[in-house]
Amino acid sequence: MKSLLGFLALAATTTVAGVDEWADAGVEWWEGGAFCRDSSKLTRTHYEQLGQRRELKSLTLYGRSRLTDELLALLAGLEQLEKVAIDGVNISDAGLRHLAGWKNLRQLTFFHVQNKDHFTGAGLTNLTGLTRLESFGCGGSPFTDAGLAACAQLRPLTDLRIWHTLATDAGVAALTNLPALRSLRLAPQFRPRITDAALAHLAKITALATLSLGEMPLTWADGLTHLKSLPALKKLTLDLVDISDADLARLKAELPAVQVDWKAPDEKQREQMRRNWRKSPPSTDHRIGSPNGDRTRVPRLRIWCPGPLDDGAGAP
C-alpha cells in the first residue's frame, strides 16, 4: 500500500521524466521514501524532480550516484529528510553546505566519495546546526583527520562509523569531544593508520557502549588495556583483528561484563597487515593524513570498501 501511494504521488508530480524512466533507473517508491539501486542512471531532471518531493523522509542512492555539488543543491529543500545514504558521490567539502537545511536529519552515510582532491570530510562543520543528527558514517573515501575533527563538532552524534578512509590515530583523539557517543566503528583497511595508540583516546569517551574495531593488529599491553576505563562498554567487536590467543584471553578475563566477538583474519589478511606494519610502522607524524586535511605526504593508496549493502546503514 505504501509503495502504491508513493507511485501515485510520483505520477502526480512527474513532468519531464516519465514514470518508466524512474523504473529504468531502479527507483522504488513508498510513502515518504525513495530507494535507487543504480543511481548512476539518474539525470539532472531526476534530481530536479527529487528536489520537489518535499515529503521525503528517507533517501537511498546506491550504485555510483555521481552526485555533484551542483546536483546536491537541487535537493537542499528536502527539509523532512531523516535518513540518507548515498554511494559514489562526487561532492566536495564546500558542497556539504547544501545539507544544512535538512533540519530533521538523523542518519547520514556516504560510501565511496570520489572527489579525492576536494573532499576530506572537513565540510561536515556545515552540519553543526542539525541538532537531530545522531548517526554518521563514511567509508571507502578520502576522509581524513580533518573529517574526524569536523565530526567532533557534531555534538548530538551517538553513532559514528568510519572505515576504509585516511583517518589516523591523531584524528581519533578529536572524538573525545563527543560525550554522547555510544557506538563507534573504526576499520583502517589493514593499514597502520589506526592502531593500538587510538585506544588511549577512545578510553576517554566514557559513554561508549558498543565498539567495533577491524582490520588491524591489537595487543593487550599497548592498546586494549585502555578499554578498562570505559564503564558503559557492553559489546566489543574485533573484526579481522590480529591478536594473540593470550591477549584475547586476557581481554575477556579483564572485561568480564563485556561481550567480546572476535573474527580472525585469514592468513592472507594477517600477512597483509604484518607486511604493511613493517613497511609503514605507526609513528607520531601520521604520514597517512593530517588534521588539517593536507595530504601532500599521503602515499598513493587504493581506497575501497565492500559496498554500501555490506555496512547495513541506509538500507530501507
Kindly state the helix (H) or strand (E) to which residue 215 belongs, with its residue range. Answer: none
Confidence of residue 2 (pLDDT cuts 50, 70, 90): very low
CA distance 33 to 130: 20
Out of 24-38, 43-57, 177-191, pick the least confident.
24-38
pLDDT value at residue 66: 83
The kind and range of the H/E element at 222 are none
What are the E-state strand segments in the chain?
A: 27-30, 33-36, 58-61, 83-87, 107-111, 135-139, 159-163, 183-187, 210-214, 235-239, 259-263
- What the chain holds in terms of domains, given with CATH numbers, is 58-311 (3.80.10.10)
Mean pLDDT of 204-227: 98
pLDDT tens readout for residues 116-141: 999 999 999 999 999 999 999 999 99
What mean pLDDT comes out for the span 205-213?
98
Question: pLDDT tens for residues 62-74?
Answer: 988 889 999 999 9
Residue 39 pLDDT exceeds 80? yes
- Cα gap 36→45, rounded to integer Å: 15
Mean pLDDT confidence for 29-58: 93
Whole-angstrom Cα distance, residue 217 to residue 198? 12
Q: Above 50 in pLDDT, residue 86? A: yes
Structure pTM? Answer: 0.86
Mean pLDDT confidence for 70-81: 98
The pLDDT tens digits for 219-261 are: 999 999 999 999 999 999 999 999 999 999 999 999 999 999 9
Lowest mean pLDDT among 13-17, 270-274, 283-287: 283-287
Mean pLDDT, all residues of the chain: 87
> How far apart (Å, rounded) are the C-alpha atoms in residues 31 and 10?
10
